[in-house]
Structure 1
Amino acid sequence: MAPPHDSRPPLRRMLALPAVCPCEGISPGTLLASLASLVADVAAGCDAGALPALRRGVGVAVRVAGLLHAFLEEVRWAAGPAPLPGGSVLGLSELHVAMQKMRFLMEDCARKGARLWVLMNAEVVASELRVVLGSVATAMDVLPANVVAVSDDARELAALVSEQAWRAAVRPDEDNCRAARSVRSMLTQFRSGATPDAEDVRLVLGRIGIASWWDCSQEVAFLEAELFERLEAGGENDKDLVLISGLMAFLLYCRIVLFDCIDYNKASAPAPAPRPASCLALINPEALQCPITLELMTDPVTVATGQTYDRASIKRWIKNGCRTCPVTGEKLRNTDVLPNIAVRGIIEQLLLSNGVSFHEPSCKHRMAVDKTALPFGTASAGCVRLVVAFLISKLSRGSPEEHKKATYEVRKLSKRNVFHRACLVEAGAVPWLLHLLSSTDAAVQDNVVAGLLNLSKHPAGRRALVDAGGLGLIVDAVTVAAKVEAQQNAAAILFYLSSNADYCEEISRIPEAIPTLVNLMQEGKYRGRKNAVVSLYGVLQRASSHGKAVSAGIVAALASLLSSDREDLVNDAVALLARLAEQPVGAAAVLSSSALVTRLVDFLGASASRSMKEHCAALLASLCRHGGDTVVAMLGKTPGLMPSLYALIADGGPQGSKKARWLVNEIHRHFEQRQPPVAAPPGGDRVIRV
């Protein structure tokens, strides 16, 4: 049977036609009914006039599907309740497979954002469509005579379907071929660093119906997703990567250079069941956040209690031993999760309405981003350099409105492509972005911080930011940025900078840096707190920073985080306490709160996370080293500690087991020294240390 129709963009590869052959035991009547429904869908589901290419060929295919639907309906009406002969299954099955492929082809031709890709692959699409129409004609010819001749009308329709399918001349229109040649010519110009004629570019865009910034963004999002899918599949040698990358760069050039207005909220093209933009405006984005991570869900799933979470976060929750619903507290009857297609569709529409591509993050996806460090072809490289030069000119000499668009384009351009980041840094984008950080326009400021965050993921970007004297500006942005998101992103920039020991020293020299991060850790929202914690973890790799952190009240702030209902935040807080206790001043600050030490011991025994237990063991070991026998004695008398340490020795990782073993030996050593010597028991038994 045909796969169920899905209104969402298909997950299959573009121009892949995974038709499913009906099972051998299917009854002719059931197969005929399914085929009639499928053919009706093909005949009514595509407006050939709205296609970017192959309009005449698709029009022929739609006409053949209409005739075939009329034939099938005539057979069903004329045959009545009488069963069809068993020999009809072969021909009907062939028709079913062919019509599935035809539907896939038409979906791809009409797919949003794929107009330029279809244009450049018009010959491939035409070839596939010719093969499909040939399959339809062949299947009609092998239908049993008693099916075709069930009535005079059926016989005439069958002959007409076969004739039309055999005679169909499916080939790209001359205008399509001319537009494709123009695109290839412009890619050749990009290879040499030449700028194409703007009028020629507009003629190509007009041919395929791209008329706005929004249309270009949809096309770029599709090509980017196609590029990443091929990279994730290990297709570095895929011959299409060079073309995809070149087309994506061409569309970036069009979007950035030719269109001055960013139409974020442009309504999508009419569809059978449109989702008005006004409906999206009524949706509270917070309702689409995962209750566990407070981040927008990318793969929403529903658990047994009916609550919806992001798949990765609820799986991690269950893996850590939690068998209750995080929102309701009810015990989960089972750990099965079901995809929430409705919520996913809303999130996808919301993202696309803001010009953001919908792509699920994953480890493979991050690896695919790493593979964009070098351009796929000289055309893409030349085009991106032209685009970057244009953006730098707007950042340096543009009007306030041009600043807003240019900073937004820098933000998008640097988001998921390492080569784009390198080009922006090399062209000197960082100093100009820092200059615009003081803009009174909150949107410009937000775009600048997000762009700097993306560029700080590149080593040269971090170096450029520090060399331009931007550390102090970033620290100020953590507290004075107009938008909360900008404050959180500024803290994330400090995290990336803290990966370098020299930059950590520079950050710690700024008097406001550590107090600012501690304050964000206390008063910020979830993401801001998390960014502050991980940034401080990096900064505290310098011993000179520990005293400043203690003076800023870091211990009290971390103690309050231990009460958070976010397990990952609690884990990060314990890890930061462990790093703080590596130095005497930090260990003394932690030891000043006996309640905090007791709580850490409780975490060691009660936490379901192995990493949390290992951080606790490392923290307690540091406290013993710096606090001496007094601390060892206190821990030795703490109820429940020794069983937890023995459990960690048995089940922990190498580092966790080592720390736990050291603690156990220290506690035994301390109490053995306080006891009077005991004669060796008969038989020569000896005490073995852990």
Structure 2
Amino acid sequence: MIQNSDDTNRRILRFPAVHPCQSVSPRTLLLDLISLSRNICDYKSKVFATQKRNAREAIRQIRILLIFFEEIRDRHDSALPDSVRLCFSELHLTLQKLRFLLEDCTREGARVWILMKCERVSTEFRVLIRTIATALDVLPLCSIDVSSEVRELVELVANQAFKAKFDVDPDDERAAKGVLAILNQFESKIVPHWIDVRRVLDYLKIRSWSQCNKEIKFLDEEIDSESSKGEEREFMLQSSLMGFMCYCRVVIFDVVDCRSNNRSDFRCNGEVLSCLNPEDFRCPISLELMVDPVTISTGHTYDRSSILKWLKSGNFTCPKTGEKLTSTELIPNSTLRKLIQKFCSDNGIPIAEPGSRSRDITRTVLAGSNAAAEAMNQLARYLAPRLEVGTGEEKNKAAYEIRLLSKSSIFNRACFAEAGTIPPLLVLLSSIDPSIQENAIAALLNLSKYSKCKTEIVENGGLRLILDVLSRGLKMDCRQIAAATLFYLSSVEEYRILIGETPEAIPSLVNLIREGNPRGKKNAVVSIFGLLLYPGNHEMVIEAGIVPSLVDLLTSSEREDLVTDSLAVLARLAEKPDGTIVILGTSALPHLIRILNSSTSRVEKEYCVSLLLSLCNNGGAEAMSILQSTPSLMASLYSLLTDGTSRASKKASSLISILHEFHSSSSTGLLAPEVPQERFVHVR
């Protein structure tokens, strides 16, 4: 059999071709050459924004070879000589590389990059075609039974392949120089003329917002790849091109061509899926977009990480139907994964790739190049006035663009802060258009991750407006984004106090825990945790009635991260006697013991033992009596002494000592002694 390479994650302009197995029969090799040749010929119908002439000539020559291969297949029933097999093996390797090259030249999203690499791409065409010519030159045609006409065609291909120049197309060269001229204008702080920008886009057949967005996404992925390899020249060029394409997307294209019936509905969260069927793209367990969908034996599809957690918890039934699984095999649903990825790419929806690396955030402190920096500065100055005096659609698009551009770049956030975009974004929070309100609050969420923006938001009265969205947002997504924004603002101690002193802040967060979607619940819980870093907010959080809601999440939530966050807040509340009293007044203890005994998360176990220790310290005999009467608890505590984190081990040791002391006191009929203060251990 012929070895096949997995090119799913292949870098562009990298050709991981593989030699056929030595044991493969000439007949099998010939059939695979026919398949490869047909695949290459199919590229004739693809769009070549650049390299048109080189691609056309390469495909023409392979089409002739296809005739040759097919005639050999039809006329040769006997085995081919070994010398022929060796030539065919070399042709097979080269055709693989040519197919990869054509795939790159027609890849949507890589057009501007292929243009700027036009010299290298032309060289690749020339090298590959001449390699084919060399293989044909040593091919013993006399030992192959084919017609004289076909033999002459093959000889003609070999001769032409040696002579073919495969130079850079003059039109490609002019277009590339046009791009470089625009990048030089950015470096010189000159605003490029829109006609020059449009000329480049027209040449590359980039005619819509979504096509431009694909170019940005591709360059972003390449930048991450290059940064890990230290190729600084490539990184700087890609950064400059990304700045240029961001400029094009914002300035040239007025309409975001999402697949939504409402043209002004510029959303990048899951609700944009309403134009298809959101249930097809969401995991039934986590309710989030699936990154790696897999199908189980009942035929239902889940995200791999979610269903694995379900199975590891000892559940061997289908989460959706309750049907018992006949097998725990997880079958990748590649078709659905590609649909999700394509839809997200078309609509600017961020979604992580399975197994992808975390982005190196230090790369986003600076723009990557002077051209990219100035392009972003010009964009920020372009968008700021449109937020204030534009039409409703212009304001919406401006907020959406800031939302996208500020998501992962520290430098971009600084540009938008400097351009004065925060005050008009705050004004848009009062919009009666749900889409405008959502894009504005999401943009502010991303900006609030930057210290200077935090100050501007609060000093411009943003806290009151964000709290209004939290409690009365036009959509649930607006409310959950507002909760996340409060979390980032609460990282500043002064604002942590200010938020706690605002009467409706904490009750609104607690209400979101009760009523919100899973993401809203999580954002509200982590925001409460941030506010609890200021001791003065402790009592107000208790009075808002958060404890029963958190205990409910321990039993009802299928999201492990939400359970962990709930445990973290309960552990902090239990550090004080009033928190302990409220927690003991609920059904929390059995659930804490269950989680401690069954959870596979070391973090959850640590929070549980911290909670139990605080409850014993502050709750005395009532808590210790319940724990002491639970036989399975001690085994879990002793397990933590060796398998838990260092902090969990210390807390488990303290709790074991307390319970043993209580047991001894109870056995002698004495009252349990008061627990020494030094046994109180603060959670992290």
Same fold (TM over 0.5): yes
Aligned match for 2:224, one of 225, 228, 241: 228
- 2:573 match: 580
**Which of 133, 136, 148 lines up with 2:132 in the alignment?**
136
The whole-number CA distance in structure 1 between the counterparts of 2:206 and 2:130 is: 33
Counterpart in the other structure of 1:604: 596
Please give the residue correspondences for 1:109-148 in structure 2 after superposition, counting only pairs within 5 Å: 109-148=105-144
Among residues 282, 287, 303, which one is paired with 1:310 in the alignment?
A: 303
Q: 2:584 aligns with which of 568, 582, 591?
A: 591
Q: Distance in 1 between matches of 2:171 and 2:130?
A: 25
Q: Which residue of 2 aligns with 1:360?
A: 353
Deviations 1:379-419, CA, capped at 9 Å, x for gaps: 11111111111011211222212101101111111122222
Which residue does the alignment assign to 1:63?
A: 60
Deviations 1:24-64 (A, max 9, x none): 1111111111101211211222347x312121111111110
Q: Is residue 320–residue 609 contact of structure 1 (8 Å, CA) maintained in 2?
A: no
Cα offset, 1:319, TM superposition: 5.0
Other-structure match for 1:449 = 441
* Aligned 8 A contact 2:2 2:29 in 1: no
Deviations 1:579-637 (A, max 9, x none): 111122211211233x3334333433343433323222111211222233454345434
Preserved CA contact (<8 Å) 2:555 2:591 = no
Report matched runs for 1:251-262 at 5 Å: 251-262=245-256
Distance 1:89 1:180, change over 3 A: same
Q: 1:168 — aligned with what?
A: 164
1:165-204 mapped onto 2 (5 Å cutoff): 165-204=161-200
User: How many angstroms does 1:639 deviate by?
Assistant: 4.8
Match for residue 409 of structure 2?
Answer: 417
**What is the one-letter code of the residue matched to 1:235?**
K
Tell me by how many angstroms 1:674 deviates: 5.6
SS at match of 1:364: coil
Cα distance in 2, alignment partners of residues 444 and 172 from structure 1: 46
Q: Is the 8 A contact 1:543 1:583 kept in 2?
A: no
Instruction: Please give the secondary structure, in 1, of the residue aligned with 2:44.
Output: coil
Asked if the contact 2:297/2:327 (under 8 Å) is kept, the reply is yes
Counterpart residue identity of residue 308, structure 1: T
| Contact persistence 1:228–1:369 (CA under 8 A) | no
C-alpha contact 1:95 1:139 (8 A) present in aligned 2: yes
Report % sequence identity. Answer: 43
1:322 is displaced (CA, Å) by 5.2
Q: CA RMSD in A?
A: 2.6
Partner-residue secondary structure (3-state), 2:107 = coil
Unaligned runs of 5+ in 2: 262-272, 671-684
1:359 Cα offset (Å): 4.6
Query: Does the CA contact (< 8 Å) of 1:580 and 1:586 recur in 2?
Result: yes
Structure 2: distance between partners of 1:354 and 1:196 = 27
Bigger mean CA offset, 456-465 vs 34-43 = 456-465
CA–CA distance in structure 1, aligned partners of residues 28 and 356 of structure 2 = 44
Is the contact between residue 201 and residue 207 of structure 2 (CA under 8 Å) also seen in structure 1?
Answer: yes
Is the Cα contact below 8 Å between 1:70 and 1:157 reproduced in 2?
no
Residue 474 of structure 1 deviates from its aligned partner by 1.4
Question: What amino acid is aligned across from residue 37 of structure 2 in structure 1?
Answer: V
Q: CA deviation at 1:236?
A: 3.7
Does structure 2 conserve the Cα–Cα contact (< 8 Å) formed by 1:301 and 1:338?
yes
Q: Does 1:78 align with 2:75?
A: yes
Task: State how many pairs are aligned.
Answer: 658
The answer to whether the 8 Å contact 2:122/2:167 transfers is yes
Matched residue type, 1:249: G
Aligned to 2:673: none
Other structure's SS at 1:158 match: helix
Contact 1:53 1:172 in 2 (8 A): no
SS of the aligned residue for 1:563 comes to helix
Alignment correspondent of 2:32: 34
Tell me which amino acid in the other structure corresponds to 2:656: V
The code of the aligned residue for 1:293 comes to S
8 Å contact from structure 2 (residues 426, 440) kept in 1: yes
Structure 2: distance between partners of 1:230 and 1:484: 39
Displacement after TM superposition at 1:320 (Å): 5.4
Structure 1 segments (4+ residues) deviating >4 Å: 1-6, 316-325, 328-336, 673-678
1:391-540 alignment runs, 5 A limit: 391-540=383-532
Distance 1:2 1:250, change over 3 A: farther
| Conservation of the 8 A alpha-carbon contact between 2:130 and 2:161 | yes
Greater Cα shift, 455-464 or 398-407: 455-464
| 2:10 pairs with 1:12 | yes
Distance in 2 of aligned mates of 1:505 and 1:372: 31
Residues 2 and 100 of structure 1 are in contact (CA less than 8 Å); yes or no, is this contact kept in structure 2?
A: no
Correspondence list, 1:356-395, <5 A: 356=349, 359-360=352-353, 364-366=357-359, 368-395=360-387
Partner of 1:684: none
- The more displaced of 546-555 and 625-634 is 625-634
Aligned counterparts of 1:122 and 1:395: Cα–Cα separation in 2: 39
Asked if structure 2 preserves the Cα contact closer than 8 Å seen for 1:421 and 1:455, the reply is yes
Distance 1:600 1:319, change over 3 A: closer
Change in 2 beyond 3 A, CA 1:54/1:601: closer
Instruction: Read off the aligned partner of 2:253 and give its amino acid letter.
Output: F
Tell me by how many angstroms 1:500 deviates: 3.1
Contact 1:388 1:427 in 2 (8 A): yes
Is 2:338 the partner of 1:345?
Answer: yes
Structure 2 CA distance, aligned partners of 1:115 and 1:266? 26
Shift of 1:305: 4.6
Query: 1:205, CA displacement in angstroms?
Result: 1.4
Specify the SS of the correspondent of 1:301. strand
Partner-residue secondary structure (3-state), 1:566: coil
Structure 2 CA distance for partners of 1:177 and 1:567, relative to 1, 3 Å: closer
Deviations 1:184-213 (CA, angstroms, capped at 9, x unpaired): 111111112111121111111111112222
Note if 1:265 corresponds to 2:263. no
1:250 corresponds to:
244
Q: 1:217 aligns with which of 193, 213, 216?
A: 213
Deviations 1:239-275, CA, capped at 9 Å, x for gaps: 21111111111111111112222222399xxxxxxxx
Is the 1:449–1:489 Cα contact (8 Å) retained in structure 2? yes
Q: Say whether the 8 Å CA contact 2:3–2:19 is kept in structure 1.
A: no
Deviations 1:160-180 (A, max 9, x none): 221221222211221211111
* Amino acid in structure 2 at the alignment position of 1:126: S
Paired residue type of 1:636: Q
Structure 2 CA distance for partners of 1:424 and 1:297, relative to 1, 3 Å: same
Which residue in the other structure is 1:685 paired with?
A: none
CA contact (8 A) 1:301 1:309 kept: yes
TM-superposed CA distance for 1:365, in Å, is: 2.4
- Segments of structure 1 that go 5 or more residues without pairing to the other structure are 268-279, 679-690
Displacement after TM superposition at 1:335 (Å): 5.3
8 Å contact kept, 2:429–2:437: yes
651-660 vs 115-124, greater mean Cα deviation = 651-660
Secondary structure of residue in 2 paired with 1:550: helix
Q: Is contact 1:564-1:570 (8 Å) kept?
A: no
Return closer, same or farther for 1:84/1:474 CA change in 2, 3 Å cut-off.
Answer: same
Question: 474-483 or 281-290: which moved more?
Answer: 281-290
Instruction: Check 1:462–1:337 CA distance in 2 against 1; reply closer, same or farther (3 A cut).
Output: farther
Q: Provide the secondary structure at the position in 2 that maps to 1:309.
A: strand
Give the Cα–Cα distance (whole angstroms) in 2 for the partners of residues 76 and 259 of structure 1: 52
**1:287 paired residue number:** 280
Give distance in 1, aligned partners of 2:557 and 2:257. Answer: 40
**Per the alignment, in what secondary structure is the counterpart of residue 555 of structure 2?**
coil
Cα distance in 2 for residues equivalent to 1:639 and 1:96: 68
- Letter of the structure 2 residue corresponding to residue 313 of structure 1: S
